[in-house]
Amino acid sequence: MEDMAIKILFDDEDDIETNTIFNSSDILSTIACAFHVFPRDKVPRIRQFVEDTIPRFSDGDFRHHFRIDRTTFEIILQHLAPHLLSQTPKGKEQLATDKQLLLFLCILTLSREIIIQWPDPARQNDIAASFQLSCGLPNIIGIIDGTHIRLSAPVIVDDNLLITSAQTGWPGCSHDARILRNSGIFAKAEVGQLIPHNKHIIGDSAYPLKRWLITPFRDNGHLTDRQSRFNRVLSSCRQSVERGIGHLKGRFRRIREVPFHNPEHICLFIIAACKLHNLCIIHEDSIEEFVDFNPAHILHPNQYQNVYPNAADGVARRNHLMNI
């Protein structure tokens, strides 16, 4: 398969360029694809495993096997069950919805409005206050970064590691800045929408400096003490996105090597993992045991410097933040 990349950019809820809102036929076609990828013809059958064995699992065993708590599983099943029930049953007896969910947990999709959405103004204020307490910089409402998942993904997370928007489908060799510039979040932020004038997100040096996107000073060997300290503070604050990516890839390990060849199926698969990640955060399903800090799994391979000019109002804002 051609090496590709998924940029988990946290786009707003109306402007994802790839297909991130899926109906029941999308879900079922992707499930069918996965079963085709993992043929089971020669594997001995275990009868009544879901009915008899899984109910006897301890909570720890259930969590170990399926990567989520039982309570989170039941919440997901409640949302997804109507989409998994065939409206025109025919042929073989339909598989029970809980079996479908257990078999295909890693590619669930739920209502995008419920699971992945841009924070409203009140939530933005909460995020900014939390980041200011943790790293001292004001008005941060998200952190963006890229990660490699065969397709590539820039990711914006909030202070709770929650993914607030997602974009998939760009080749892995694509520059992070190019992907951002072709996203809905860039277009809206440039005209003063989505990110309030007094707020911003932060990113690494691959991204252009904007009023709404703060990046570190480029280290040319002649940084002042203040500039160096600002870079250290920004780097410390950016650890949230690294932990978020580490959790996503640590809990749902299949996305390290996606088993599909169809780009549409790959995008569907990764968006599903992002939504499951958010469900685990929302329902306080512990994440620490799954966070993977292996650099080979977390870091984006395209460590390019920004190739676009810095905006004058971005330079002014960064200098203001440095001075305070």
In DSSP notation, 264-305 reads: HHHHHHHHHHHHHHHHHHHTT---GGG----HHHHS-S--PP
Facing residues of 140 across strands? 200
Half-sphere exposure of 120 (CA within 13 A, CB side): 2
State which amino acid sits at residue 155: V
- What integer pLDDT is reported at residue 86 of this predicted model? 66
State the Cα–Cα distance between residues 64 and 69, nearest whole angstrom.
9
State the Cα–Cα distance between residues 313 and 143, nearest whole angstrom.
19
Facing residues of 153 across strands? 147
Which residues have C-beta within 8 Å of that of residue 101, sequence separation ≥ 6? 73, 76, 77, 80, 81, 84, 108
State the Cα–Cα distance between residues 294 and 291, nearest whole angstrom.
9
**What end-to-end distance do the CA atoms of the chain give, in Å?**
49
CB neighbourhood size of 224 (10 A): 10
Which residues have C-beta within 8 Å of that of residue 241, sequence separation ≥ 6? 143, 144, 145, 155, 156, 157
- What integer pLDDT is reported at residue 261 of this predicted model? 79
| Mean pLDDT of each 10-residue bin along the chain, 324 residues long | 39 37 45 49 64 83 80 80 68 70 55 69 94 92 81 79 82 79 89 92 92 93 94 91 84 76 82 84 74 52 66 95 92
State the Cα–Cα distance between residues 270 and 253, nearest whole angstrom.
11
State the Cα–Cα distance between residues 212 and 215, nearest whole angstrom.
10
Pairing type for strands 140-149 and 200-202 reads parallel
